[in-house]
Every structure is written in C-alpha cells, then in structure tokens.
Structure 1
C-alpha cells in the first residue's frame, strides 16, 4: 500500500512539474532573447553614432598629465626619418 501511494504521489508531482515547465521555460527564453536584442540594438546605435562623425574628427580619451604640445617624452621612444617610395 505504501509503494502504491508513493508512486501515485511521484507521478502527480512529475506531472505538475512538467505542466509548469511548459509555461516557465518559454517565458525564460523570451526574457533572454529580449535582453540579447536590446544589447544588439545598443551596439548598433553606438556604431552608427561613431560613423556619423565628420571626416577628420579625432576623439582623444586620455591626455597624460604634464605633457607639452608637440613634444614627446623621452619614454616614448625615438623618431625615425623615412622616405616615401612611390
């Protein structure tokens, strides 16, 4: 009698879990897909903003402190002259 009761309860629990998963898994995947779409759209918007810059525009993110215009610090290496060959 105890074994039959255990089997009936187990089957009912598995059936309930299966029924719940039928609704929960698609909802979970939908939220993941929506999040990925939002990230892709943000990347596309950022790319378009970068492409809309006028020609020759330069964006400088970092300027070292104490640097003087036109002069390179000694730690930057040395300049090598070159000839352009056509």
Structure 2
C-alpha cells in the first residue's frame, strides 16, 4: 500500500512537470515552424536559381517509345473461316 501511494505521487509529479514543460516549449516550436513556412528562404529547402523573365527551361524530356519492327513478329498467313 505504501509503495502504491509513492508511485501515484511520483507519477502525478512527473505528469505535472511534463505538462508545464509542454505548455512552455510547444508554443515556441509551433511559432518557429510557422515562421519557417512563411519565409522559406531561411529554411534548408532546395530552391531553383531564378531566371530572367521570358527565358525557357526544359527540366524533363520523356523518352521516345521505339516502334516495333514488323519483321520480328513473324509471317502473316491469310486464312478463311470454313463452316
């Protein structure tokens, strides 16, 4: 009974300390995250270099599909359906 009472008191104290720390630290973390989202130049995000207006840049060129060679398909034989 004595150990259970000590456990409950320690658990309540630990939970209370965690609650106080979260109330102090959490708003600062959220404020920092929102300021980084509003000003991405200060973050570590990758940014493409700026180009003058009117310049054209192609970042991706899809590969062209090769047309199949009909010689590899074999010989075509015409047939008639007999009933």
Give TM-score scaled by structure 1 length.
Answer: 0.49
Deviation at 1:24, TM superposition (A): 1.0
Structure 1 consecutive aligned stretches of length 4 or more whose deviation exceeds 2 Å: none
Give unmatched runs, 5+ long, in structure 1. 41-48, 63-74, 76-86
Indicate the structure whose relative CO is greater, using CA pairs within 8 Å and at least 6 residues apart: 2
Deviation at 1:60, TM superposition (A): 2.3
Higher helix share: 1
Q: Aligned partners of 1:60 and 1:20: how far apart in 2?
A: 52
Query: Is 2:24 aligned against 1:28?
Result: no
Aligned residues: 50
Query: Is 2:2 aligned against 1:6?
Result: no
Q: State the Cα RMSD in Å.
A: 2.6
Give unmatched runs, 5+ long, in structure 2. 42-49, 59-63, 65-83
